[in-house]
Structure 1
Amino acid sequence: MDLIEIIVLALLQGLTEFLPISSSAHLILPSRLFGWDDQGLAFDVAVHVGTLLAVMVYFRRDIVVLTQNWLTTGFSRTPNTEARLAWYVVVATIPAGLAGLLLNDWIEANLRSTAVIAATTIGFGLLLGFADKSRKDGVSLVHMTLLMALVIGLAQALALIPGTSRSGITITAALLVGLHRVEAARFSFLLSIPLILAAGGLKTLELMDSVLPVDWQSLALGVLLSALSAWVCIYYFLAFINKIGMLPFVIYRLVLGLVLVAFFI
């Protein structure tokens, strides 16, 4: 990979990991437009590490509070609000984890095409718009229930399909079950931590079995750029989402999907 490829792909990964606009659709465009080769397993690990660092640094206080309360009251008969939220993150992670173990290879072999990515980018973009338009005021995470967490977790499993967008589908489901915009985004970001950790861990294990040489300078730059872009993305998304709503992202997804259809299918 040359410097331009590293910069573009790392920034794209950092931004699209948390915006509801599909990282798969964005990572396929540079390769098709410029004829770039696949970035490879090592770089995949690097940008996963970067995005994980960003979300953990941003939500460091939440992580500490949730973990402490989960360990102290989470296993009692009367868990407090923070302990319940920690359990909801665990419950909502399970469906995607199981689906990944059972279906990941089949999805990689059958659904990783430009046509699928274009269709899911458009289809789930419209669903996001419907969810945002149909929501009213929404409730906070304090009022979240186990059923709401399970619905969001089942929706997250759909993110294995390329073009769906993990953040997009979880925010959509959170809005549909009644969460406030900011709270829906916050829960989606917290929910990303165990999944990114698991995905990065699996890719690291695969990398350890690989005999290919590793360009550590390129990987370090990938970690840095993906972490910075992801942190900026989280900060501004949470700051402005209640004012701008989801419509700009819906329009963007529709345009992106149509570009994929028009030029690459």
Structure 2
Amino acid sequence: MNTLHVLILALVQGFGELLPVSSSAHVIMTEKLLGLNPSAPEMTMLLVMLHTGTMFAVIAYFWRSWGRTYFASPEAFRRNGLNVVVATGATGVVGLALLHLIKALVAKNRPDFEIEELFGNTKIIAAGLATAGLLILYSSRSAKAKGGEVTGLSALLIGAVQGLCLPFRGLSRSGATISAGLSLGVGRRFAEQFSFALAVVLTPVVVAKEAYRLFKTPAAASAIHTGDAWTLVLPSLLGMSLSFAAGLVALRWLSDWLETDRWYLFGFYCLAASLLVLVLG
């Protein structure tokens, strides 16, 4: 992996993670086209840092708007914080239930099965992209600039939808959760803010899981033991910086299209990308 590879993957991750088009699908297909090994320690470290960069982009972008809503008063903080907790709990329940179901049906309860084994399946990626596209197109008909705020019930349902996204590459988390909010009558800005508040809670868990998988690999342990860990860290720091910058641009793009009735265009993009994945796969 060279500097050009880091640049390409950082831009793909930065835009794909925060636009409703599934970063995982785009990163996986980009790795295939570049001939990279996604299981290599340097690739795993890079993806961990790219996720971190986009998480910081979300915090930087939404900090002021969250301050005017989520942190406006102690009562607002309690109400919105409870909604985030409810949604995250629903995500965990649905995600774990799906994981056990997939393990039973696909892997016949094989003890060493990991969900990552399915991540490179282009048919699953294409199906996920198509599903995200249809959800976006459906929700664009319900989108209201001045819709209601997130309630306890809508938080529960949005969190459950987020849980459905976890095992399936291609099913965009932001696309599905924002679409769920819009379909439930949540206002565009409220749906966007809530979706990315959930992302800030979920991303550290994903990063920690990937970091744990990385440091269990013999190659990573050898790099740490020999003092060559910087060969993993330095390219990843560059990638994190680039994904942060790309993430800020992506969020501005997303907000603009969401607020100017162009949300549906992301749906058409996902459908087109689904067909392309099938062709390239």
The bucket for the TM-score relative to the shorter chain is 0.7 to 0.9
Residue 89 of structure 2 is aligned to residue 94 of structure 1: yes
Question: Taking structure 1 as reference, are residues 240 and 255 closer, same or farther at Cα in structure 2, changes over 3 Å only?
Answer: closer
Match of 1:45 among 48, 56, 60: 48
TM-score (norm 2): 0.81
Question: C-alpha distance in 2, partners of 1:63/1:252?
Answer: 29
Residue 138 of structure 2 is aligned to residue 121 of structure 1: no
TM-score (norm 1): 0.86
**Equivalent residues in 2 for 1:157-236 (5 A)?**
157-160=163-166, 161-211=168-218, 212=220, 213=223, 214=229, 215=231, 216-236=233-253
Question: Taking structure 1 as reference, are residues 150 and 157 closer, same or farther at Cα in structure 2, changes over 3 Å only?
Answer: same
Q: Deviations over 1:95-142 (max 9, x none)?
A: 22344456286543346410011011012211210111134555242x
Contact 2:62 2:193 in 1 (8 A): no
Question: Taking structure 1 as reference, are residues 240 and 46 closer, same or farther at Cα in structure 2, changes over 3 Å only?
Answer: same
**Equivalent residues in 2 for 1:73-152 (5 A)?**
73=74, 80-101=75-96, 103=99, 107-110=115-118, 112-136=120-144, 138-141=146-149, 144-152=150-158
Question: C-alpha distance in 2, partners of 1:114/1:92?
Answer: 29
Unpaired runs of 5+ residues, structure 2, are 101-112, 224-228
Tell me how large the CA RMSD over aligned residues is: 2.3
Question: C-alpha distance in 1, partners of 2:211/2:34?
Answer: 28
Question: C-alpha distance in 1, partners of 2:67/2:211?
Answer: 25
Cα distance, 1:62 vs structure 2: 5.2
Question: C-alpha distance in 2, partners of 1:134/1:198?
Answer: 32
Cα distance, 1:60 vs structure 2: 2.7
Percent of counterpart pairs with the same letter? 33
Cα distance, 1:37 vs structure 2: 1.9
Question: C-alpha distance in 2, partners of 1:204/1:230?
Answer: 21
Question: C-alpha distance in 2, partners of 1:16/1:124?
Answer: 13
Aligned residue in 2 for 1:8: 8
Cα distance, 1:179 vs structure 2: 1.2
Contact 2:61 2:248 in 1 (8 A): yes
Q: How many residues align?
A: 253
Q: Which letter does structure 1 place at the counterpart of 2:151?
A: T
Q: Deviations over 1:2-23 (max 9, x none)?
A: 1111011111111111111111
Question: C-alpha distance in 1, partners of 2:163/2:266?
Answer: 21
Stretches (4+) displaced over 4 A: 62-65, 99-102
Aligned residue in 2 for 1:76: none
Question: Taking structure 1 as reference, are residues 63 and 97 closer, same or farther at Cα in structure 2, changes over 3 Å only?
Answer: farther
Structure 2 counterpart SS, 1:155: helix
Contact 1:155 1:173 in 2 (8 A): yes
Q: Deviations over 1:147-188 (max 9, x none)?
A: 010010000011111110100110110011101222211211
